[in-house]
Amino acid sequence: MMDKRKRYIQYIILNCDYCRKKIEIRPKAFKELEHHFCNRKCYWNWCRKENHPNFIKRIIVSCDYCGKKIKITPNNKSKYHFCNRNCRTKWQRSEKNPYKGKNSPYCKPCITVSCDYCGKKIEIRPSNKSKRHFCNQLCYWNWKGSNQNPMKGIQDSRYIKRITVSCDYCRKKIEIIPRNVMKSAHHFCSSKCSSNWHKKENNPNFIQRIILNCDYCGKEIEIMPGNRSKHHFCNRKCYGFWKSLYMKKLFKNKKIRDAYFKKISIQYIITFCDYCNKEIKVHPKAFKELEHHFCNQLCYGLWMSLYMKKLFKNKEIKEIFINTMASGQKHPSNLELTLLSVIEEYNLPFKFTGFGKRGERVAGLKPDFTDTLELKKLIEVYSIVDKNNRYRGGINRYRRDRFFHFGRCGYDVLFITLENDILRKDCKKHCVQLIKIFEKGLNNTRIEWFVKLIFNYNHLWYCLIDLVNYMKNIVDKEMEIL
């Protein structure tokens, strides 16, 4: 098969100027270029050889350090040649270098100078010449502290006169800068004097300590008067030993021992597993909140399979589940199935519409349940924990967004949660009451959320219009009933 581009352009066949391979070239490239190559490697190899028009012949020279032969262009005017940088640096440090040290043209002769402290003679470069010279740092620091230094103490132009003050604890005389005298009222010669002074009564904020004995070892301790504890100890070890002895004495009495362990331990409620009827201990909070209890996840899974079989006895629920699974779309969750069973038991006017592609869209979203009487009412089922983890902004943001989208089209929404509604013992009765109240009249949460929308959204004008239209629809419905 020929390339598509070859049908329209007649390519010219040539040989590569380096490797003599056959290549196809466009007529434009043939006219513009003198030499032709199959790839870049061939081009670079050709450029290195004498074929290139700008090619300059190299001269063979030996490295001045290691003696290797190197190719160099004749334009290179340097006297010394090296194969790499390592050779050059080694040559510079070696004796082969004629310009090393004092022999270099840039090196100026050193000046001999005497050290200002010890009087030793030193050789210094003329650029380092200054008023004073030292052979090392030790000489410099000794000179600075000695009397030879003309800038020492009072003779220094930057010197500030000190004020003599006595230490407030040991009464020693100290020299202090005047600005430090103004800063604080009390002055000390050392940190020890300041800490000792602060402990004594001289301190204006000092509180007199009470002297007591340790309840375990009997040592004397100083304690603040505000300490209201009954027992006092010099350290943690004494407290630990005392506690072990004190608890042993107390636990000899049975009444005290039982009362102590009752406070620590939680009284678990003994119930039976709903699948295997085993005895299990359940926390009192879990016993109140949940209707069914299981010993492990396996029992929960097996019980759930039986529960689903009971649900599937209803043909409508079974058909919905099978059709959604066969089409590869979203199938109803356990929450939605429980609410669906309640709706069909009590013949409530709602149908499940939370499918994948088949689902009915309202304002670009798919609600879980819609009204069959066309009263523009929707039901949403969810778990608070799940939405807080998955949805950005948590449960409040989720509810607000749903109200905003459905409210713009004139729909009312009822929210049923797993934690507050479905896990209750009277789940069916509670859900039926909620749905019936929702059918008859106004959903109270709607007005609350509209008020929140006004304060949270920038589109305040649109939110107000929606609220007014919604209130008009309610008034019209009440007038029709009358």
Average pLDDT over residues 439-452: 52
Q: Give the three-class secondary structure for 401.
A: helix
Q: Are strands 69-72 and 111-114 parallel, antiparallel or unpaired?
A: unpaired
User: Is 220 in contact with 212 (CB distance < 8 Å)?
Assistant: yes
Domain 312-481 has CATH 3.40.960.10: yes
Residue in the block written with tokens 């039976």 = 272
Q: Which residue, 339, 302, 308, 305, is CA-closest to 321?
A: 308
User: pLDDT tens across 119-168, in order?
Assistant: 899 888 888 888 888 898 888 888 877 766 666 655 555 667 788 899 98
Q: Which residue has the higher pLDDT, 123 or 475?
A: 123
Q: Which residues contact 385 (CB under 8 A, 6 or more apart)?
A: 419
User: Which has more confidence, 182 or 19?
Assistant: 19
Mean pLDDT of 3-31: 79
pLDDT tens string 95-118: 888 877 767 777 777 888 999 888
Tell me the pLDDT band of 457, cut-offs 50, 70 and 90: very low
How large is the C-alpha radius of gyration of the chain? 49
Give pLDDT, residue 117: 87
**pLDDT tens figures, 24-69:** 888 888 888 888 899 988 988 887 767 677 777 788 899 999 989 9
What are all long-range contacts of 143-151, with beta carbons under 8 Å and residues at least 24 apart? 143/116, 143/117, 146/117, 148/116, 148/117
CB of 147 closer than 8 Å to CB of 156: no
Is the Cβ–Cβ distance between 193 and 169 less than 8 Å?
yes
Q: What is the dihedral of CA 24, 26, 30, 35, to 10 degrees?
A: -50
Tell which wins on pLDDT, 202 or 237.
Answer: 237
Please give the average per-residue pLDDT across 262-271, as a whole number.
73
In whole angstroms, what is the distance from residue 420 CA to residue 401 CA? 21
Residue predicted with more confidence, 252 or 279: 279
CA distances from 221 to 13, 207, 235 (A): 108, 15, 10
Asked if 341 and 311 touch (Cβ cutoff 8 Å), the reply is yes
Residue 72 has pLDDT above 80, yes or no: yes
Domain boundaries of the chain, sorted by first residue? 7-48, 59-96, 110-139, 164-199, 312-481
267 pLDDT more than 80: no
**pLDDT above 70 (res 423):** yes
194 has a pLDDT exceeding 60: yes
* Mean pLDDT confidence for 283-292: 80
CB burial class (10 A; 0-12, 13-18, 19+) of residue 449? buried
Q: What is the pLDDT of residue 456?
A: 44
For residue 13 the two structure tokens come to 């066949």
Query: Is the model more confident about 263 or about 207?
Result: 207
Q: How far is the C-alpha of 115 from the C-alpha of 140, rounded, in Å?
A: 9
Per-residue pLDDT for 328 more than 50?
no
Q: What is the amino acid identity at position 373?
A: L
Q: Contact, 431 vs 409, CB < 8 A?
A: no
For the chain, give the mean pLDDT.
Answer: 77
Least confident of 85-89, 110-114, 170-174, 405-409: 405-409
**Residue among 299, 372, 308 at smallest CA distance from 334:** 308
